Structure 1
């Protein structure tokens, strides 16, 4: 099978890049021909605001590149991983014109929400959900805290809804969880075109021991990730278990202040994935305190691979991944008292915690291995090809 994978790369690499690269690497390992068209977001600095806005709506350059790729070789599918902002949905139309099936992975909520998060002013916001013109995103300057930049995103969304890009130029959408799938359906996307395929961890990092005697947070240090909830909860614990924090972001100063205030909190900054997995495997549990509707929760699945239970906010996709009482615990989002209560309970039930370690690894093997993901991805590709040709 020959696949054209299309994506924008981020200036700061994150879980979306890791997941996409894992997918492409897995396909190659299984003998498939994967061609990649990539735009680097560093290029944004070379464009004027007007050029950037126009390119976000319709990139003639990207359209021509994809048109040429598809005319020079025979592809089975075009898989759009991320087109925003440099590539634009013009590539969907180029593939449609060439008669090649198009699959779009929904790695965030950009097609429903200008800032892609459903999160504003420290809380969940669905003001734009279901609106043909998501104008609240402009009023609030939701993209990059700029009304001008937000207007360009809203224009892109409005133009392509008017052009029926998402109903006519895409054959299948891949949502990462059922929660995300339902959000897109609620936003007006055709239910019959949205299938679910989770992310996965490859290569398998192997199970850890959980004997490190600490809790772990891995992720961006930002408001939507719930860092303030996490730090406030640690001040309320009955038992001051050490907390290691891996990552960087706008709340770094707040984390530094917490380390000065609480000897149990340690900030490790960014770490290579090998070190992250090693620390994850030795942790007693991972804390996932997000306040927004995560589309997936790759860090949680990496913890499952290491046999590490997850204490997560009961919100969005992460609440779907964590089976409370079996692979971890859930707490009320943005509620440090309830998070502290769940951590206290877990620390006072070591037998249950040990059983959870076994169950999390079992959950990983059942749902998130490369083998299972590959079978599901090829199934989607073949179903899409069949539906396209029918």
Structure 2
């Protein structure tokens, strides 16, 4: 079959970009033709505030490009990964104008929340949930801490709610977890159109030994990722277990200060994926201290692939991914003392931790391999496409 994948790339590459590229590679490996229409947020600055705001609501350029692509060749599916902000929901209408079904992966909460995170001032916020006009987000300037920019996002959401875009223009939505699915249903998306298909890891990085003697954090150094909780936990620890931090972001200066103060903490910055996977495989456990809901938790699944248990905040999708006591442990969100207690317990119970390593890898084999993901995505495409599709 032939698929047009549509994606708006972020300025700082993250899990969404990696996940959609993995999906495209997998489909090509299985013999499908995948073309890509993409934009990059590096263009935002050059467009100017007013043109950018108008484009966020409706991009005539994207509409024309996508319609021309679909009209000139026979496509079976348009799979939209992320349309915000340069591509816009106009591409739904371009696909529908030529009769090509639309699949939308829900990789963040943008359709319900102007900043896409349900997170404000260091805490979970659902003030815009269920509101036809998400005015609280505008009042607080939730998107890029800018009321004008947030106003553009709120206008896009409101206009397309009025046009019934989210109800009528998408054939199937893909949520990454059941938690995220339930949030989107609560926010007004049609339950019968939302299916769950998680991300996956491909190629399989192989099981590690867990013999490195350190804890590991991998991710963006930002407030919603719980860096402050993580660093505070290392202040409380009695055990002097090393902590390696991989990633970059707005809290890098705070991490640097902690490195100076806490000899057990080491900041490695950005690292190639091959090195990250090696670090995961040798870690005693990975720590996932997020404060926001997360739609998935790709880093946790990568850890499972390496056979590494995950100590995760008991919140959102990551709480769903980690089965406490089997593939890792839960701690109370934002509670550094509880995180420290769970770390101490894990260090004091090596036999239980070894069992968790086996269970973490078993969880990966059962749910997050490329084979399982391909089976699921073919089921989804079959729901909306009249073509004959093979599975493995």
- Residue matched to 2:145: 145
1:55-204 superposed matches below 5 A: 55-204=55-204
Measure the CA separation in 2 of the matches of 1:66 and 1:98.
10
Residue 386 of structure 1, CA deviation: 5.1
- Residue matched to 2:238: 238
Measure the CA separation in 2 of the matches of 1:41 and 1:259.
32
Residue 226 of structure 1, CA deviation: 0.3
Q: Secondary structure at the match of 1:64?
A: helix
Measure the CA separation in 1 of the matches of 2:162 and 2:385.
26
Residue 7 of structure 1, CA deviation: 0.5
Q: Deviations over 1:346-390 (max 9, x none)?
A: 110000000000000000000000000011001100112259xxx
Q: Secondary structure at the match of 1:346?
A: helix
Q: Secondary structure at the match of 1:7?
A: strand
Q: Deviations over 1:4-41 (max 9, x none)?
A: 00010111100000000000000000000001101111
Measure the CA separation in 1 of the matches of 2:227 and 2:134.
29
1:278 aligns with 2:278: yes
Q: Secondary structure at the match of 1:235?
A: helix
Q: Secondary structure at the match of 1:91?
A: helix
1:239-254 superposed matches below 5 A: 239-254=239-254
- Residue matched to 1:381: 381
Measure the CA separation in 2 of the matches of 1:233 and 1:315.
18
1:187-336 superposed matches below 5 A: 187-336=187-336
Q: Secondary structure at the match of 1:330?
A: strand
Measure the CA separation in 2 of the matches of 1:48 and 1:18.
28
Measure the CA separation in 1 of the matches of 2:234 and 2:149.
38
Measure the CA separation in 1 of the matches of 2:23 and 2:195.
16
Measure the CA separation in 2 of the matches of 1:80 and 1:269.
31
- Residue matched to 2:29: 29
- Residue matched to 1:372: 372
Q: Deviations over 1:156-185 (max 9, x none)?
A: 000000000011100000000000000000
Runs of 4+ in 1 over 4 A off after TM superposition: none
Measure the CA separation in 1 of the matches of 2:311 and 2:168.
41
What TM-score, normalized to structure 2?
0.98
Residue 46 of structure 1, CA deviation: 1.4
Q: Deviations over 1:213-265 (max 9, x none)?
A: 00000000010000000000011112110000000111111111111111100
Q: Deviations over 1:131-171 (max 9, x none)?
A: 11000010000001000000000000000000000111000
Measure the CA separation in 1 of the matches of 2:10 and 2:253.
24
